[in-house]
Amino acid sequence: MHYLVDGYSVIHARPELRKALARRLALARDLLVHRLQQYQDHAGETMTVFFDGRSGKARQADQGIRRKTATERKIEVVFSAEGQSADMLIEQRVGRATSPSRYLVVTADHAIENTVSALGASSISPDSFFEMIIRAEEDFSDWLDDHRTRTKRKFQRG
């Protein structure tokens, strides 16, 4: 699955990200990308996050967001050019795909949901997406606790 994330839509939909947005736009973007990176590290899914464009100077400052993980995966961060919107770029990415069903679009924008659905992709709300992330983190935490317990028992026996 390849997740296409409508960045500002998700930021405005999530209380913790809105709080960061009130402090600084770049902080909210960084927190979103960091959270996506954590999920990607567990799930191994491909992620692209789209933001409406800004000036070249600000865009250069965000190049640090494109960081690689230990597994060499990275979050692709795309800023729209002048005269474009992140919404347009998401719709174009799905529309040009040979297999649009491989995309899951994360957005609170009903117009994007309708468009990508008509093109053959699926969509999910930011709240449902974050519930999925939280469940994945809890499952991983449970697995890790179980693994630690089994390992401890193994060495106690040995």
Q: For residues 112 and 125, what is the distance between their CA atoms, to the nearest angstrom?
A: 11
CB 50 within 8 A of CB 80: yes
pLDDT of residue 115: 97
pLDDT tens series, the chain, 158 aa: 999 999 999 999 999 999 999 999 999 999 999 999 988 887 888 999 999 986 444 444 444 344 443 344 588 999 999 889 999 999 999 999 999 999 999 999 999 999 999 999 999 999 999 999 888 878 777 667 777 777 877 777 76
Report residue 26 CA to chain centroid gap: 16
Q: For residues 158 and 96, what is the distance between their CA atoms, to the nearest angstrom?
A: 58
Domains and CATH numbers, the chain: 2-157 (3.40.50)
Question: Among 119, 115, 87, which Cα is nearest to 100's?
Answer: 119
Is the Cα dihedral 112, 114, 118, 120 positive or negative?
A: positive
CB 44 within 8 A of CB 73: yes
Please state the pTM of the whole predicted model. Answer: 0.79
CA 56, 59, 62: angle at the middle one, nearest 5? Answer: 155
pLDDT of residue 138: 82
pLDDT of residue 158: 61
Q: For residues 28 and 2, what is the distance between their CA atoms, to the nearest angstrom?
A: 22
pLDDT of residue 21: 93
Alpha helices in 44-125 (DSSP H): 56-61, 86-96, 110-119
79 Cβ contact list (under 8 Å, min separation 6): 50, 51, 52, 53, 54, 59, 62, 86
